[in-house]
Chains A and B, each alone.
Chain A
Amino acid sequence: NAGVTQTPKFQVLKTGQSMTLQCAQDMNHEYMSWYRQDPGMGLRLIHYSVGAGITDQGEVPNGYNVSRSTTEDFPLRLLSAAPSQTSVYFCASSYSGGRILYEQYFGPGTRLTVT
């Protein structure tokens, strides 16, 4: 199993550009999520999904869109990049028993810089 994979590993954008961060998992996990990690602030939940066709907002959803058309993929779209979105982005997945979450497996991260 590849686990959770993310592409790209590094990305530089100019202000106003849009892009999609890719995330895929091969563990048949129902739950997938996106976090951003900034120095001194831990990880903050952007969006999450409990299954195909179902998404919900987390703590910091503004400026980001997600969709979940398959169990395996959960892309994160930046609509109009801003310098404040410079961060490391982690995707994670876990088995979910309804409202019960289990261990989350994180991808390797994408380091995004917006100039």
Chain B
Amino acid sequence: GENVEQHPSTLSVQEGDSAVIKCTYSDSASNYFPWYKQELGKRPQLIIDIRSNVGEKKDQRIAVTLNKTAKHFSLHITETQPEDSAVYFCAAIRNNDMRFGAGTRLTVKP
């Protein structure tokens, strides 16, 4: 089955700096790659997603890039704010089977 690895497991940045989280996947047939944000004690919520026919997608301060050849995709958050502090999960989907990375705990220091 699909295996998704996510790095780093923890990330601490100063407010205003950029944060980058990287994921690799093993199954070249995976075709949908969402990113979820989970605040403490709450449910995961989608922040951005990308499909395999697109190399990059941006939504305000958040962007995702996909390299199908290398089988990795990354989340970029610019101008970080304290409210960006949360756990972020990447995922890869093939044929309705969704596999998540282990998560990255992002802390934005004011």
Which residue numbers of A lie inside 8 Å of B, CB to CB? Answer: 31, 33, 35, 40-45, 48, 50, 56, 58-59, 90, 96, 99-101, 103-104, 106-109
Contacts of A44 in B (CB 8 A): 100
Chain B count of residues within 8 A CB distance of the other chain: 23
**Nearest A residue to B1, CB-CB:** A59
A42-B89, A42-B103 known; A109+B98 contact, CB < 8 A = no
Q: CA separation between A86 and B63, bound complex, in Å?
A: 35
Extra contacts besides A58-B97, A99-B95, A103-B46 (17): CB < 8 Å: A31-B96, A35-B100, A40-B102, A42-B89, A43-B89, A50-B96, A59-B99, A90-B44, A100-B31, A101-B98, A103-B34, A103-B49, A104-B34, A104-B98, A106-B45, A107-B43, A108-B42
Q: Say yes or no for B93: interface residue by CB 8 A criterion.
A: yes
Q: Could you jot down 17 A-B contacts, CB within 8 Å?
A: A31-B96, A40-B102, A40-B103, A42-B6, A42-B101, A43-B89, A58-B97, A58-B98, A90-B43, A99-B95, A99-B96, A101-B96, A104-B34, A104-B98, A106-B45, A108-B42, A108-B43
- Given A99-B95, A103-B49: A42 in contact with B100 (beta carbons within 8 A): yes
The chain A residue with its CB closest to the CB of B6 is A42
Closest-CB distance, A110 to chain B (whole angstroms): 11
**B102 near A41: Cβ-Cβ < 8 Å:** yes
Q: Could you tell me which B residues sit within 8 Å of A by CB distance?
A: 1, 6, 9, 31-32, 34, 42-46, 49, 89, 93, 95-103
A101→B44 contact, CB < 8 A: no
Most B CB contacts (10 A, CB to CB) among A41, A42, A100, A108 go to: A42
| CA–CA, A56 and B89, complex, Å | 23
